[in-house]
Structure 1
Amino acid sequence: MREFKALINNELIDNGQWLEIIDPTTLQPAGRVTALSAQDIDNAYKAARASQKAWEEVELLKRMEYVKSFRNEIEKNKNEIAQIMSEEIAKGLKESLGEVERTIEIIDYTLEEAKRIDPLAMTGEGMGAKNKIGIFSRVAKGVILAISPFNYPINLAVAKIAPALVMGNTVVFKPATAGSLTGAFLGQLALNAKLPKGIFNVVTGRGREIGDIITSNKEIDMISFTGSVGIGNQIRKQGSSTDLVLELGGKDPALVLDDKNLEKYADEIIGGAFGYSGQRCTAIKRVLVSDEIADKLSPLLKARVEKLTVGKPSENANITPVIDLKSADFIQGLIDDAKEKGATILTGDKREQNLMWPTLIDNVTVDMKVAWEEPFGPVLPIIRINSVEEMIKIANESNFGLQASVFCQDISTAISVAKQIETGTVNINSKSQRGPDCFPFLGIKDSGEGVQGIREALLSMTRYKGLVINY
């Protein structure tokens, strides 16, 4: 069984307390990580604070060298990381390796983009101040708390860690419980990369016991969190004076407005809905379509769903077990509620413990839970709506506002509808998706706060500091 320790001030912590991480495929322990105490966590923040000023004073190119060394350790160990991920979150090995490689690309782009965060220089002449020049540079915010989710345990961790470090911040990193093996392994890689003491700390443990302690420490200058709406809103209430970037849930709709390229639409919708068993905030989670088009589209969707393979991550199956039994119970509850209220199961509705077969549900109505609640699993409801205006209304009535897709060959209509949908991003003729990572990524309402993306992370983790020269 794998065993990884927390990292505080470049020391691996063994306090005799452990947290077991369960393999979703076997429902047996995949490994264990250190279960830190409140004092351990406080020590991590003290180490991050004590090292921050000296780290910020290291010149940019030298900081980049350290981060590049960390990047190289990730690359050298990419197959091991992929194997760990596959074991602890049941993501296919091929997809896990792809996530690690994408993470390396994010670091490379981050290092290049950091060179272009130039100061803003301006004069006061427009306000009648002829003898003033202002130079406004970006400086580090200080200590960053980075919290990653289970579904992308390295990608969404490093997308926070790399920009924070390269801009002169220090980091306390808390991986999700499922994902802690990957997260703690990053701590070992940081040691291998010989990062300076205290600039990167990995804290692990039982979220229900230490979650509030981790997010409320007085040393935190900024929290970058990806995870559930419930925890995100709890962080909002706690950290009234702390800068926040939150990436939360989604109920991303796909609006199908014509039948001119239904084969392509079906491919995009299925790819968007069932990637990593639907356990993605950007997954397509409902299809809004007219009766006439639905009669043509639903058989195409059904045929594609039935071709999805179901099995183990080691087999690179399209659909693998969802993260735990509790999640499977919730997903099944949404399916059962829809059936009881008259929806049509086109395919799926089969379960073995937490392995859920991909399920396509037609004739879903707005009184059904699956029309509104985020399943975070392999379920796709079809809602038949014969008015584009009503589609937009239903899309906007959601408490989520992350992404949406509009499928329509008339680009003027597609753009007009996209402008009316209340989300962070609308994809035209494509599935909803996070990437490319150089694009801004954001949600509104319960889907988040602030903006992510490579350049946006560099900016959000810094602040202006002005120098005004009077002559």
Structure 2
Amino acid sequence: MKHTVEENVRDVYSVTGEARLGNISLMSKEDVDRAIDQASDVQKNWKEIDLHTRARILHQWADNLVDKQLIIADMISHEVGKGMSSAKKEVLRTADLIRYTAEEGLRSHGDLMRGDSFKGGPSSKLAMVEQEPLGVVLAISPFNYPVNLAASKIAPALITGNAVVFKPASQGSLSGKLMIEALNDTDLPEGTVQLITGKGSEIGDFLVTHPKINMVTFTGSTQTGQAISQQTKMVPVVLELGGKDPALVLKDADLDLAVKQIVSGAFSYSGQRCTAIKRVLVQDEVAEELVQKLKEAINNLSVGDYQQESDISPLINTRAADYVEELIDEALQKGAHAVTGNKREANVIHPTLLDQVNEDMRVAWEEPFGPVLPVIRVQNEEEMVKLANLSEYGLQASIFTKDTQKAIKLGSQLEVGSVQLNAKTERGPDHFPFIGAKSSGLGSQGIRRSIESMTRDKLFVLNL
């Protein structure tokens, strides 16, 4: 939808604020209402299109993303501050995700149930169970993976016969727009996917409570996700929210392996990932050695410009950098020790390692979404599990030990959706289930799980 009134558009700049990348429409509630109405109307025909045609359209979309990978990756790089190599990987990973979704969708099928399979059930009854689309899916994506996390919602919705209303994060919206242009350049019926841009403060509540929205799938902050959950009432919701993922380092761990995985898990994309390692719980016996090894590895990280493929680059905005700095300062005031880092240049926070962190410090519990790693020393495994589970979050955890049996035993006690054994916390592969416990989410994602969440069973009982 085009706007000619200057007040109805907003310029989008690079993450450093130095380059204007384009603009987005600031859509009104009336604009949103028309878009949702059109999606609802088109969906009635889209759901009748056969699965093979829907799958073919998704493959076209994936092909278009590959063809336009440099253009889209360049926008991702500048808009959210990723190195070009990481941005290209995101686009290609997204194409693979879409193709897998198309093929997984083709394997979706109904079920048959005989009445006499249940004791006392009448043998003359046969149940035919089919999956129906929910209708119009509202997909709300975050800034940090503006293409991949958007497509992980849109592709499953489309293969199951749903229409989509897509609301990208404001910083990331131009990348999302290019992704949708690649989708629109297929045989997808016009209007099946509606791109919504604008101020969340003005249209957000209107979107999630609209009577023609039949499902909401959201990735973003826990605070916003909880608000959506309260507003949607009877509408199905899948939420992918924040995390405070711990790395549990046992005294028998391979410390070199642990350091390599922890540093990568904590500081890739400057820590701006819900699955980033955000605290280390280490047994006293190896704490000093681990901290020194972490210091050496962190000091080898490059700091600077995302265009130079630096390991640490500017955070998404000044508010984000202010928050990380605030957490560091509060911890230092309460007795934590800055082993390395604790330096800021504009929105670049140098990778910071904090030792001697305790339960009284905010950085032990709050999600920084930036390059700071607190180390909490513990006496034993029981204390590790207790501290890990005291968090309001429950996304993932890493356990580093040479004793696999012990790792599985400890992992079973952790209140998280996923446990990584001797590896960093991370999302994927994209067909693996992705689950958040407690305040980290609601529902399950991953390609097959996402497909299942966007359909409902419909039962036909044949009386023979």
Q: Aligned match of 2:13 in 15, 22, 32? A: 22
- CA-to-partner distance for each residue in 1:418-454, whole Å, 9 max, x for gaps? 0000001111111111111111001011100000000
Distance, in Å, in 1 between the alignment partners of 2:205 and 2:12 is: 21
Residue 339 of structure 2 corresponds to residue 339 of structure 1: no
Percent of aligned positions with the same letter in both sequences?
Answer: 46
Change (3 A) 1:275 1:369: same
Residue 225 of structure 2 corresponds to residue 232 of structure 1: yes
- CA-to-partner distance for each residue in 1:288-320, whole Å, 9 max, x for gaps? 012221111111111110111111111111111
Task: Name the structure 2 match of 1:60.
Answer: 51
- CA-to-partner distance for each residue in 1:106-162, whole Å, 9 max, x for gaps? 011111111111211111101421001111011111000000000000000000001
Change (3 A) 1:250 1:416: same
Q: Which runs of 4+ in 1 moved over 4 A?
A: none
Residue 67 of structure 2 corresponds to residue 76 of structure 1: yes
Once the two structures are superposed, the pairs formed by residues 105-120 of structure 1 within 5 Å of their partners are 105-120=96-111
- CA-to-partner distance for each residue in 1:214-254, whole Å, 9 max, x for gaps? 21111010001000111101101110011000000000001
Residue 2 of structure 2 corresponds to residue 13 of structure 1: yes
The one-letter code matched in structure 1 to 2:200 is G
Distance, in Å, in 1 between the alignment partners of 2:318 and 2:252 is: 39
Once the two structures are superposed, the pairs formed by residues 244-263 of structure 1 within 5 Å of their partners are 244-263=237-256
Of 385-394 and 369-378, deviating more is 385-394
Distance, in Å, in 1 between the alignment partners of 2:344 and 2:313 is: 11
Distance, in Å, in 1 between the alignment partners of 2:80 and 2:99 is: 26
Distance, in Å, in 1 between the alignment partners of 2:337 and 2:93 is: 38
Task: Name the structure 2 match of 1:103.
Answer: 94
Contact 1:15–1:34 (CA<8 Å) still a contact in 2?
no
Distance, in Å, in 1 between the alignment partners of 2:437 and 2:169 is: 23
Q: Please state how far the C-alpha of 1:260 moved relative to its aligned partner.
A: 4.1
Contact 1:184–1:204 (CA<8 Å) still a contact in 2?
no
Once the two structures are superposed, the pairs formed by residues 43-442 of structure 1 within 5 Å of their partners are 43-125=34-116, 126-127=118-119, 128-442=121-435
The one-letter code matched in structure 1 to 2:123 is K
Distance, in Å, in 1 between the alignment partners of 2:33 and 2:64 is: 28
Unaligned regions of 5+ residues in structure 2, if any? Answer: none
- TM-score (ref. length: structure 2): 0.97
Contact 1:308–1:319 (CA<8 Å) still a contact in 2?
yes
SS in 1 for 2:204: helix
Contact 2:26–2:198 (CA<8 Å) still a contact in 1?
yes
Change (3 A) 1:442 1:166: same
Distance, in Å, in 2 between the alignment partners of 1:382 and 1:27 is: 36
Distance, in Å, in 1 between the alignment partners of 2:253 and 2:344 is: 35
Contact 1:19–1:206 (CA<8 Å) still a contact in 2?
no
Of 288-297 and 272-281, deviating more is 288-297
Task: Name the structure 2 match of 1:7.
Answer: none
Q: Please state how far the C-alpha of 1:25 moved relative to its aligned partner.
A: 2.1
Unaligned regions of 5+ residues in structure 1, if any? Answer: 1-11
Distance, in Å, in 1 between the alignment partners of 2:365 and 2:18 is: 30
SS in 2 for 1:328: helix
Q: Please state how far the C-alpha of 1:187 moved relative to its aligned partner.
A: 2.8
Q: Please state how far the C-alpha of 1:258 moved relative to its aligned partner.
A: 2.4
Distance, in Å, in 1 between the alignment partners of 2:61 and 2:85 is: 23
- CA-to-partner distance for each residue in 1:195-220, whole Å, 9 max, x for gaps? 20211110001112211122111101
Contact 2:251–2:285 (CA<8 Å) still a contact in 1?
no
The one-letter code matched in structure 2 to 1:246 is L
SS in 1 for 2:123: strand
The one-letter code matched in structure 2 to 1:208 is S
Task: Name the structure 2 match of 1:4.
Answer: none
Task: Name the structure 1 match of 2:27.
Answer: 36
Q: Please state how far the C-alpha of 1:32 moved relative to its aligned partner.
A: 1.2
Distance, in Å, in 1 between the alignment partners of 2:202 and 2:11 is: 14
Aligned length, in residue pairs: 460
Q: Please state how far the C-alpha of 1:69 moved relative to its aligned partner.
A: 1.6
SS in 2 for 1:87: helix
Distance, in Å, in 2 between the alignment partners of 1:356 and 1:30 is: 24
Q: Please state how far the C-alpha of 1:383 moved relative to its aligned partner.
A: 0.3
Change (3 A) 1:136 1:75: same
- CA-to-partner distance for each residue in 1:60-80, whole Å, 9 max, x for gaps? 101111222222221111111
SS in 2 for 1:13: coil
The one-letter code matched in structure 2 to 1:118 is H
Contact 1:360–1:380 (CA<8 Å) still a contact in 2?
yes
Q: Please state how far the C-alpha of 1:27 moved relative to its aligned partner.
A: 5.1
Q: Please state how far the C-alpha of 1:411 moved relative to its aligned partner.
A: 1.0
SS in 2 for 1:145: strand
- TM-score (ref. length: structure 1): 0.96
Of 244-253 and 196-205, deviating more is 196-205
